[in-house]
Every structure is written in structure tokens, then in C-alpha cells.
Chain A
Amino acid sequence: MYCANCGVKLGDAETVCPLCATPVYHPALPRPAGEPLYPRGHYPPQPERSLAAQIVVTALFLLPCLITLVCNWQISGRITWSGYVVGGLLVVYLGSVLPFWFSRPDSLIFVPLWFTGVGLFLKYIEHSVSGQWFMPFALPVTAVLGLFLTALLALLRRFPKRKLLIFGGAFAALGVFLTLLEWLIYEVFQRHRFLGWSFYPLIVLILFGLTLVFLSLNRNARDAMYRKFFL
């Protein structure tokens, strides 16, 4: 039989045309029965995802947590220094192991999650040492860094072809962030004088960022750079 749409000659076992998906049918002609080249409708089993590595690594994380907690409890009768150890390990675990429990971890979920974890850990430390630095300093810094990184990832995903532009903007923003960071340190911790160390990276980062932006907008310049620096 021939395909009514694209006109190729079809094997007898074809029920739809493999090329254009047109059903093979003619009201006046009975369709001859044919054997397909390969058995149809059976898929080989896909192997289960092995979670052994994740379980072992999790156990390796749990072990020091338990040991420090027990030691701390035995010695002081309450949780003091072991809280920092456990909190720190949890933060590391959150960033490095937890995503691997999922078959397709989404960085847009795990990056903000990790920064939230870091924020909570810092809040815990502040609470334990009765400090006054979380609200005015640690929270804004972690929040801005977290938002910055999440936005960067989201932009890279949304506009995969505009990497140069996005990174250019990111470098410039990083420079501004460092300056703001220095100003915040000065304000919050009442340093004696404003040093201005952050202006050096600010200038470098902004210049570098603007260069990337320029290259992303100017195709000829980009080609010229590639010609000079290809590996």
C-alpha cells in the first residue's frame, strides 16, 4: 500500500505511515496482514535509580551530628557548641547532598532554599551569642545574595543565548554590592572611618562587566576577541 499523503510505499505491517502519521486505509482494498520487523509495544525495564550513594553520604553526615550532640550533652548537660556543628553540617548538607535525592533537582528551588538555611543558621548563632547583628546586617546580606544568585540563574535559563549580557550585568551588580556591603559594615558596626576598599573591586568589576555587555551587543568586536583568544 502507498501512503495517501506523502506517497511512499509502506510495508504491510504499517498501520500508520511512519513518516507523516497518516492512517493506512483504503475503503476498497483490504489491508494485507504483515509481520513487523521488530516486536511492538514492549519496552525494556529501565533500571531503578540507585539511592545507595545518597544514603551512605547522609549517614556520614548524621554520624558527626550525633557524636557531637551526645558529647556536648554528656559534658554540659545542654546543647551549646554542638549546635553550631550540627547547624553548619545541615547547611552543607542542604547545599551539597539534598538535591541529589531528586532525579531532576531544580536550582531555582534549591538556591533560595540554601540561602534560607544559611539565614536561619546565622539567626541561631546570633540568638546563642546574644548578638544584635542579624536584622541590620546578616539578613539583608544573605537575602540580597540569595536573590542575586536566583535572579542570575533564572535569567540564564530564560535567555540562554544572552550569557555575555547577563554575566556583564552580574559583574557590574557584584561591584555595586561590594560597595553597599562596605557601607553597611561601616553603618552597623560603627567603624572609625570609612576606608573605601570596595571602590577598587567596584571599578574593576564595572569595567569588566561593561566590556562583556559591549561584546554581547557588538558582533564584530566579539568575533575579533574570539579570533585573538581562541584555544
Chain B
Amino acid sequence: MTLHDESMSRRPAPRWLPLDNAAKIYPAARSKNWSNIFRLSATLTEPVDRAVLQSALDATVGRFPSICARLRRGFFWYYLEQVEQAPRIREEYSYPLVKMYPWEVRRCAFRVIVYRDRIALEFFHALTDGNGALIFLKTLLAEYLHRKYGIAVPAEQGVLDRTEPPSPGELEDSFQKYAGPRSASRRADDAYRITGTLETGGFQHITCLELPVDQVLRKAREYGVSLTAFLCAATMMAIQDIQQIRVPNRRRQRPVKVLLPVDLRRLFPSTSVRNFVLFTTPQIDPRLGAYTFREICDAVRHHMGLEVQPKYMGAMIAANVAGERILALRAVPLFLKNLVMKAVFHQVGERKSSLSLSNLGAVTMPAAMTPYVKRLDFILGVQATAPYNCGVITWGDTLYMNVIRNIREPELEYHLCRVLKDLGLTPLVRSN
């Protein structure tokens, strides 16, 4: 996608971009009580200097015209329009990921929130995915540390050069570029979903499990799987146990599925900072009998081996962009598209998994920055119709697993900790 920039006229028209293929569902899927948002935060070693952060933010936003943007309506599609001015930094005063209302998304679709020594960014998912957001966070941090402490941070390891203009590759909709020649089938069964008593006032519980990453890695190797697959298997084990308690009749149980986002930048040579992520959904079917942890690990590993590779993901992309390439569909007015996409999202999209578990992996930063950063957190907003989600990020020697929920009962957290404890891992638990 090209960036529409008019430098000839006296007052330049605002830069704008159509939504990328994955982003198109998010505005349509929003409802009165829910929109798809996520948070990425960095805790520093000293309290945050708000004035310096604001100036760093002002200097950084121009570099990310696709992220520092607001959502506007066209007649046929939504689009992103760059905000002229960086948003004001806010104080954290409540739980994370407070609902982002449509009028806020229309003004600016991301937030910068400061609490003591922590800088948090909250994004509407149509802007970017976790990895794009991580690049933005690192670049902002680099600028902040540079201004605050005068350190020179090289533009490497995900830190972008603030003085350069954005490259076309960063702004491209990589889905269009890397779609495979054939479309994959998307049929799937509905998954088991945890239910509970909804919290009043929109409150969301955060339970952060902190684990020493070397211990987790050693355990994962013991079971012959990657760290993501290991955590996914532990979560599936916990959900299997919960379902066994809630629905003792095996015949009436549903498959347990965890939605694992796959960063497509690792499979395709894309440098986009927009959405470029798809999913793989490892699953077990408890109707066939109770799975042992090792069996779940094998199921996850083989499932990922089958699907997480360029050919299959290319076919998945092709299936997603197919509809968008039909002119007759593109020409349907936006409000009709919204109706259809909302229906599809609720009937198909979310029901197919029990929760999502997004792992941003071990984060690296230029050596000059690392002494200033104490911890990182990655929190996904809850799903539209299910109470849980889970974000994982690793910084230094600690793995931070943030489990969010909007119901009272901490059932999944409890069972997850028990599963981890049975495996010999003792998480440090914090809550809000």
C-alpha cells in the first residue's frame, strides 16, 4: 500500500492508509461493551519524567504514521488517519485496558499511560499487532532515555531511527503481498469456553505470573517443545481440568483450543509495523479421554509443525484476502459490511477457541537501554464473549504471563498455577 502524502499543496492533507486485512474485522466487531485492545508496558528503574516523555512522544509519533493514528469512516471502508499531534500522556488511575469507546478511537486510537516508574501503551488492535507495538515502544523508550539520561541508542534490535522518514515497507499491508496461491479451509468446531460471574463496573482482573525463564525453558526442553508450546500445553491442561469439573459427562464436553498468534514476520521477509499476524489453534478433544501433559505437548508441537510454516500460512492469508479482492464485495457500503462482519465474527471467529495466548517472546534491546528497563508486561484485552485472555513476554531472566479476566472467579489462574506447580515451577503471583 502506498502512503498518500500531498506535499505540493500549502497545507499538507493528513496522511491516511486503508486498514490492513487483519485489521478490517476489529472496527466491525466492536460493540457497546467491548473493543479489541491490548497493552504493552515497560517498567523503568526510576520514576518516569512526564515532561520528558511527552517531548519524546511528540518526537516519535511522526515516525509511525500508521500507529499514531485515529480511525475514520469512509463510505466503503474504515481508514487510518495520522494524528497531527501526539496525545496527552495520562495518569494510570484504575485497572489496565479500560474500555476504549468509539469516540476515543475516532480521536486517537492509542493511549500513553504513566504510573510511577512505568510507561504503558494501549492500542486499538486495528493499528498494529503486538510486534509492531513492541517496535513503537522500544523506539519511544530509546528517545525517552536519550532525552532523559543523554545516552546514545543505536537504531538496532527493533529500535527505529526517529529522524528517518517511515519506509514504505513499514507501512505495507503484508497480507496482500504474501498471500499464497491457494486458500486454506477454515472449518472448525466450537471450543469449550470458561464462564463465570461478570464483574460489575467493567472491572478487569490482572493476574501476573512471573517465572524464571531458564527453569521454564529447561522444563519445555524436557517435554521436547518450544516455550510457547509449553505454556500453551499448560493452559490447555488447566482448561481440560476445569471442564472435567464443570462438565463431568465426557460426551458433553467440547474441544479445548488455544489460539496462538503467529508472528508472520518470522516466516516472511516483512518489515511492516502494521498487523501481520495470523493464528494457529492447537486443540485436544477431551471427549476421547483425559490427556496427559506429555500428550498435550505432543499435540501442540505437531499442530504447530504442520501449520506454522510459510506455505500453510500463505494459504491462510489467501483465504482471508480472497473476499477483499472481489470488487463487488468491496463496493458494499460500510454499514452493511459491518453488519455482516459482526455476525461472522460472533458466529465463527471467537467461538473457535477457548482463549488466546499471545507470546511476544524474549525481547532484546540495544545494550545501552537494558540497564534502565526493569520489566515488561504484555496484556491482551478480554475477548468479546469469553472472559479470559493471556499475554506473555520475556525480559531478562523473567517470563511475565499476564492473565486477564472480567469475571469474579479466578478459576483458570488457580488451575494453571496448580499445573505449573505439578511440573515443578512455582510462579510469583501478583494481582491488581
Flag if A37 contacts B432 (CB, 8 Å).
Answer: yes
Flag if A19 contacts B430 (CB, 8 Å).
Answer: no
B207 at interface by CB-CB < 8 Å: yes
A130 at interface by CB-CB < 8 Å: no
Task: Specify which of A8, A36, A47 is in contact with B417 (CB 8 Å cutoff).
Answer: A8
| Beta-carbon contacts under 8 Å, A26-41 to B | 35-40
Using A6-B417, A43-B201, A44-B98 as known contacts, say yes or no to A38 and B206 having CB atoms under 8 A apart.
yes
List A contacts of B421 (CB < 8 A).
Answer: 7-8
| Beta-carbon contacts under 8 Å, B373-423 to A | 410, 413-414, 417-418, 421
Report the minimal beta-carbon distance from A174 to chain B, rounded to whole angstroms.
Answer: 28
Flag if B427 contacts A8 (CB, 8 Å).
Answer: yes
**Interface size band for A:** 20 to 34
Flag if B417 contacts A38 (CB, 8 Å).
Answer: no
| Beta-carbon contacts under 8 Å, B242-269 to A | none
Flag if B428 contacts A19 (CB, 8 Å).
Answer: no
Stretch binding the partner chain, chosen from B89-97, B224-232, B337-345:
B89-97
B429 at interface by CB-CB < 8 Å: yes
List B contacts of A38 (CB < 8 A).
Answer: 92, 94-96, 115, 206, 432
Interface of chain A: mostly helix, strand, loop or mixed: loop
A83 at interface by CB-CB < 8 Å: no
Report the minimal beta-carbon distance from B215 to chain A, rounded to whole angstroms.
Answer: 13
State A3–B207 Cα separation when bound (angstroms).
Answer: 15
Flag if B208 contacts A37 (CB, 8 Å).
Answer: yes
Flag if B94 contacts A19 (CB, 8 Å).
Answer: no
Task: Specify which of B93, B96, B116, B426 is in contact with A9 (CB 8 Å cutoff).
Answer: B426
Using A18-B413, A19-B207 as known contacts, say yes or no to A11 and B202 having CB atoms under 8 A apart.
no
Flag if B206 contacts A19 (CB, 8 Å).
Answer: no
Flag if A11 contacts B98 (CB, 8 Å).
Answer: no
List A contacts of B99 (CB < 8 A).
Answer: 44
Flag if B410 contacts A19 (CB, 8 Å).
Answer: yes
Mask of A37-58 contacts with B, CB within 8 angstroms, 1/0:
1111011101100000000000
List B contacts of A44 (CB < 8 A).
Answer: 93-94, 98-99, 202
Using A18-B413, A37-B206, A40-B432 as known contacts, say yes or no to A9 and B427 having CB atoms under 8 A apart.
yes
Flag if A36 contacts B98 (CB, 8 Å).
Answer: no
State A14–B94 Cα separation when bound (angstroms).
Answer: 17
**Interface size band for B:** 20 to 34
B203 at interface by CB-CB < 8 Å: yes
B93's nearest neighbour on chain A, judged by CB, is: A42
List B contacts of A42 (CB < 8 A).
Answer: 93-94
List B contacts of A39 (CB < 8 A).
Answer: 92-94, 115
Report the minimal beta-carbon distance from B302 to chain A, rounded to whole angstroms.
Answer: 28
Mask of A61-104 contacts with B, CB within 8 angstroms, 1/0:
00000000000000000000000000000000000000000000
B375's nearest neighbour on chain A, judged by CB, is: A37
State A18–B405 Cα separation when bound (angstroms).
Answer: 12
Report the minimal beta-carbon distance from A18 to chain B, rounded to whole angstroms.
Answer: 4
Report the minimal beta-carbon distance from B42 to chain A, rounded to whole angstroms.
Answer: 13
List A contacts of B163 (CB < 8 A).
Answer: none
**Sample (28) of A-B pairs whose CB atoms are under 8 Å apart:** A7-B421, A8-B417, A8-B426, A9-B429, A10-B429, A10-B430, A13-B430, A17-B429, A18-B430, A18-B431, A19-B410, A36-B431, A37-B206, A37-B208, A37-B431, A37-B432, A38-B95, A38-B96, A38-B206, A38-B432, A39-B92, A39-B94, A43-B94, A43-B203, A44-B94, A44-B99, A46-B201, A47-B101
Give the B-binding residues of A (Cβ under 8 A).
3, 6-11, 13-14, 17-20, 35-40, 42-44, 46-47
Beyond the given A3-B429, A9-B426, A10-B429, please list 11 additional residue pairs across the A-B interface where CB-CB is below 8 A: A8-B426, A10-B428, A11-B428, A11-B430, A18-B413, A20-B410, A36-B430, A36-B431, A38-B95, A38-B432, A39-B94
Give the top 3 A-B pairs by smallest Cβ distance, nearest first: A11-B430, A18-B431, A38-B432
